[in-house]
Amino acid sequence: MKITIYGSGYVGLVTGACLAQVGNHVLCVDVDKAKIESLLDGEIPIYEPGLKDIVIDNIKAGRLSFTLSAEEGIQHATVQFIAVGTPPDEDGSADLSYVLTVAKSIAEHMNDYKVIVDKSTVPVGTADKVTQAVQAILDQRNARIAFDVVSNPEFLKEGNAIEDFMKPDRIIIGSESDKATQLMHELYLPFNRNHERIITMDVRSAELTKYAANALLATKISFMNELSNMAELLGADIEKVRIGIGSDPRIGYHFIYPGCGYGGSCFPKDVQALERTAREIGYQAELLAAVEAVNYRQKDKPVNKLKQHYNGDLKGKTVALWGLAFKPNTDDMREASSRVVIDTLLREGAHIQAYDPVAMDECRRLYNGSQMLTLCENSTAALQGADCLVIVTEWQEFRSPDFDKIKALLKDAVIVDGRNLYDPENMEKEGFSYYAMGRAR
Q: Cβ(226)–Cβ(292) under 8 Å?
A: no
Calpha distance 93→19 (Å, rounded): 30
Q: Which of 28, 260, 266, 363 is catalytic?
A: 266
Taking every pair of C-alpha atoms in the chain, what is the biggest distance, in angstroms? 79
Instruction: Name the DSSP letter for residue 396.
Output: G
Among 174, 135, 126, residue whose Cα is nearest residue 153? 174
Q: Strand 388-391 to strand 64-67: parallel, antiparallel, or no bridges (unpaired)? A: unpaired
Please state the length of the chain: 441
Q: How far is CA 335 from CA 96, 185, 261, 263, 366, in A?
A: 20, 35, 10, 5, 12
CB atoms within 10 A of CB 252: 12
CA angle 400, 406, 409 (to 5 degrees): 160
CB atoms within 10 A of CB 54: 22
Identify any residues that bridge with 201 across adjacent strands, giving them in sequence order: 174
Q: Cβ(320)–Cβ(388) under 8 Å?
A: yes
Q: Cβ(350)–Cβ(329) under 8 Å?
A: no
Q: Cβ(172)–Cβ(210) under 8 Å?
A: yes
**Cα(first)–Cα(last) distance of the chain, in Å?**
60
Q: Cβ(121)–Cβ(264) under 8 Å?
A: no
28 is catalytic: no
Calpha distance 389→217 (Å, rounded): 29
Calpha distance 348→311 (Å, rounded): 13
SS3 68: coil
Calpha distance 100→123 (Å, rounded): 13
Calpha distance 135→38 (Å, rounded): 35
Residues recognised as catalytic: 266
